[in-house]
Chains A and B, each alone.
Chain A
Amino acid sequence: MDSEEPRIGVFVCHCGLNIAGVIDVKKVVEEAAKLPHVVHAEDYIYMCSAPGQELIKKAIVEKKLNAVVVAACTPTMHYETFARAVEAAGLNRYRLEMAAIREFSSWVHPDKKKATEKAMKLVKAAVAKVAGNSSLDPIKSKVVKKALVIGGGIAGITAALDLANAGIPVVLVEKSPSIGGKMAMLSETFPTLDCAQCILTPKMAEVARHPLVRIYANSEVVDASGYVGNFKVKILQRARYVRVADCRLCGFCERVCPVKAPSEFNRELSERKAIYIPFPQAIPSAYVIDRANCKHWVDGCERCLKVCPTKAIDFNDGDKLVEEEVGAIIVATGYELFPAEKLREYGYGVYRDVIDSLQFERILSAGGPTRGSILRPSDGKPVKKVVFIQCAGSRDVNYLEYCSKICCMYTAKHALIFKERVPDGEAYVFYIDIRAAGKGYEEFIKRVQEEFQVNYIRGRVNRVYRDPKTGEMVVVGFDTLTGQVVTVKADLVVLATGLVPTLPRELASKLRIQLDKYGFAQEVHPKLRPVETVTSGVFICGVIHAPKDIAETVAQASAAAAKTMELLSSEFIVKEPLVAVVDRDLCSGCRVCTGICPYGAIEFVDGKAKVNELLCEGCGACVVACPSRAIELRNYLTKQLVEMVRAVVE
């Protein structure tokens, strides 16, 4: 409370007969006038009306009131009305309290005497509170009109384009040497069976040439600090050893490189050289050297440098730490597949002909290790029979408890494409349930089952092994609909494994994003605030939020971009000032508050707690928790609440 003595005016509304019909309004006024610091008390038939508001303004000026209580309806109804009225008379709006004697008394208590008594208590409590209120100004903070997008897959690319097209500069950070994410590895996408690269690469090119987008590939966000409107991030840009601007993609370097390593893009089904381009349409459009495998640092090999026509190779390149200031951050780091070698019964990692779904995508891809022919990895023999195992490690308390949503659809897609290319082939799908809830998805499944004659077996697979005599893969499962053990011999087994999130916990904690027990990022509320996190200014989209398909990912990415645009559209962020404040002299540095605050709004400065005004939402949990009572909530001080309790009970 400011140092001056409170001079409180109490205004009791009749609200026609709504209040006055039950409550003895005159008595309430009479009693109110006797309360400490009350210098004016009157009643009127409709306080919210223009004449009613005039009475308040007049009293403020004439009686030099510095605090006002309106006993009427609830703040939800008319707080704004009366706040503007007192402001018009020169009084700060936070010096106003309302006592809801209508909703909390006259409308719910038929006994006039009791209703009046309760109304007097409510007024007494409101007077006690307003006596402790301070005049406050809204909190303003400048906004940096720039956004950071972490993750260069389809989610990150979509968000970056939406923002850039709206005139907002974007920094796009991608961990691997090229943007494109998992979608670039896919052959076709369900249910339309569009070629994935065909719909993705135009977007990749668009984002690459957009003047407002700055791409940091082969990079990672290693530090983040600050708050909404003013984040400072540190980006580690790993050395590429190839100058992007000079690389012409001629490929001579690749031809002469003596080192081979498993190809990440082809999910280790084939090899690449130590100097390589992840895939032909990679953005940035340049080669990259894999330092871990390259022989240059071992024996001084420089074969690639000697043949490069533009001298684009630079062994003196080094990692760089770049700092950027942004106003908002969108996290779109996507997923990895569940490591199938954990499913010991299925033999992944033991038998080369047991593969996972992304590996099958690479086999199907025209640009993949088999140029689109469906051949089995062990000996290159064409696949005639394939078994798909759905829910491999999903919906299972031993591995992943949750459903990854897309596996039923992508398996159906895999089976369809297989049958298209190998019309005389046989495909089997072991499933528990079929989840096909999207637009046209149920019809897609039906088509795969009926038109393409893929065999769907409802039951789980017990074991997968190779028959040593014939070399075939043997899949032993159970058909619950016929109640019989089923054995299928096949050339190839594809495990439909689930999606696991890949956001590193340290980065999540730096951004103060909550992760659920599986590691997926937590939204504030699934329906009311689906792309926002607990940290103001940090948004999420794509599979990092929860498993979803590309259509949903793109929609959510646009939603995150829209929320970001909303935030960055004004020069200033304006906030209600009803936040918590720390008295440094009382703070002992016990840190209890830091653990209680759900928004991570409390940081330590010179050994004492400090509340970040922009992040604090004013819940007051820290106020209660502080063992030294060093934190207080503006206009909801502990002593105000104590006075209110006394007013109500005595």
Chain B
Amino acid sequence: MTRPNLVIVHGAICGGCDVALANSAEALLKILDGYELAFWSVAVDSRLTDLKSLGRIDVAIFMGGVRTWEDEENARWLREKSRVLVAFGSCAAYGGIPGLAALSPPREIINVVKATVTTTSRGEGLEGLPKLPELGTYRALPDVVSVDIVVPGCPPPIKVINEFVNVLSKYTSGERPTEPVVVAGSKAQCEVCPRKPKDFPKLQIPEIKRVYEVKIDENKCFLEQGILCLGPLTRDGCEHSCISANMPCTGCFGPLPGFEDVGLRYIAGVLALVAVEREKELMEQGLAKILDKLLDRLGVFYRYTLPRSRLYKLKLGVEGGGGAK
């Protein structure tokens, strides 16, 4: 009786998800126990041709976003061949940090890189070197193919990887999940945040402060100190490594079920709450000045989720590039 096989394929990665998986010890051992690891270029010496020679794939784990035509080809191929396709890590799930580059045309990105990299050799005339694959529109995996399991996190914490292995065991044979299973909570971080005050006082956000401007009180809610924390809109389930290190949540676990656009919800709620006690005193001018403190809207709202956001989809629709709704 052959064990089901499992492949781990990379899109546009940083390597962090590989490290996380390797670090997960127990989970990794369970995977290696239950599955035949047929492809993981970081751990096992193999080539893409070895992957493509596989007849059938039970579980395919895709890490990273879909940046090049090669990534896209691989993603589509994997979907066709695999029973269960997993988007592993925030890049695969939502686009991740490189998703912020989705707003720059690929040509512009190449030009910037060429202009800023100093090298004595441009590799011209050297034979046998592979050609760089062409950059396409940057996308998260679910925007290219349907995905069965989503494991968020940048990188996914050990707790979540363990949970992922449990989820996987339910689909070892036969059925695919009818809709994508997200290995994270479905409530916001605030539900379990250690900084949530026991007596639920009214939430007041006096102004906007950058993390370096304030000596952050370890026991107080970030928002109350003016620090823009994405906790209220981010799924729970992580190990709170950021919050316990006295840094606000930046949203790597992605938006709550039913929402794709973090920015729109953040504007609607948290930003609308800024300086509420002083609205009449500050008037539009004063309020605008406080809101102008937020310089990097895209970086704060969409650090991990830009390619899946509604506004991005609107932009694509406006340009006639398809995928409008």
Contact = CB atoms under 8 A, between A and B. Distances in A.
Contact of B269 (A592, A600, A603): A592
Interface stretch (B44-52, B73-81, B142-150, B185-193): B185-193
Contacts of A589: 190-191, 196, 200
Given A588-B232, A624-B272, A625-B269, A595 B205 contact: yes
A628 B188 contact: yes
B310 to A, nearest CB: 12
B258 interface: yes
Interface string A607-650: 10000000000000100111111000000000000000000000
A625 B272 CA distance: 7
Nearest to A604: B200
Nearest to A629: B258
A594 interface: yes
A416 to B, nearest CB: 39
A332 B286 CA distance: 33
A595 B203 CA distance: 5
A624 B266 CA distance: 10
Nearest to A602: B202
Interface string A517-553: 1000000000000000000000000000000000000
B307 interface: no
A239 B270 CA distance: 47
B232 A627 contact: yes
Given A590-B190, A592-B273, A596-B272, A628 B200 contact: no
B231 interface: yes
B202 A595 contact: yes
A591 interface: yes
Interface in B188-218: 188-191, 196, 200-205
Given A591-B203, A592-B203, A624 B190 contact: no
Contacts of B281: 517
Interface string A577-595: 0000000001011111011
Nearest to A515: B277
B188 to A, nearest CB: 4
Given A588-B187, A588-B190, A594 B203 contact: yes
Interface string A31-71: 00000000000000000000000000000000000000000
A594 B196 CA distance: 14
B149 to A, nearest CB: 23
B276 interface: yes
Contacts of B256: 627-628
Given A600-B202, A627-B265, A591 B272 contact: no
Given A517-B281, A594-B200, A595-B202, A621 B272 contact: yes
Contacts of A607: 200
Contacts of B204: 595
Query: What range describes how many residues of A lie at the interface?
Result: 20 to 34
Contacts of B232: 588, 590, 592, 627-628
| Residue with the greatest number of chain A CB neighbours at <10 A, chosen from B191, B202, B232, B256 | B202
A455 B4 CA distance: 105
Contacts of B200: 589, 591, 594, 603-604, 607
Contacts of B196: 589, 591
A586 B187 CA distance: 7
A546 to B, nearest CB: 15
Contacts of B190: 588-591
Contacts of A588: 187-191, 232, 236
Nearest to B268: A624
Given A595-B273, A596-B276, A600-B202, A628 B187 contact: yes
Contact of A626 (B187, B189, B266, B269): B269
A235 to B, nearest CB: 23
B233 interface: yes
Contacts of A600: 202
Nearest to A603: B200
Contacts of A624: 268-269, 272
A623 to B, nearest CB: 9
A596 B277 CA distance: 10
A111 B289 CA distance: 44
A586 B204 CA distance: 22
Nearest to B279: A598
B203 A627 contact: no
A604 B200 CA distance: 7
B4 to A, nearest CB: 36
Contacts of A629: 258-259
Contacts of B266: 627
Contacts of A621: 272
Nearest to A598: B276
Interface of A: 517, 586, 588-592, 594-596, 600, 603-604, 607, 621, 624-629
7 contacts: A590-B203, A590-B231, A591-B202, A595-B203, A624-B268, A627-B270, A629-B259
Given A588-B191, A624-B269, 4 more contacts: A604-B200, A624-B268, A627-B265, A627-B268
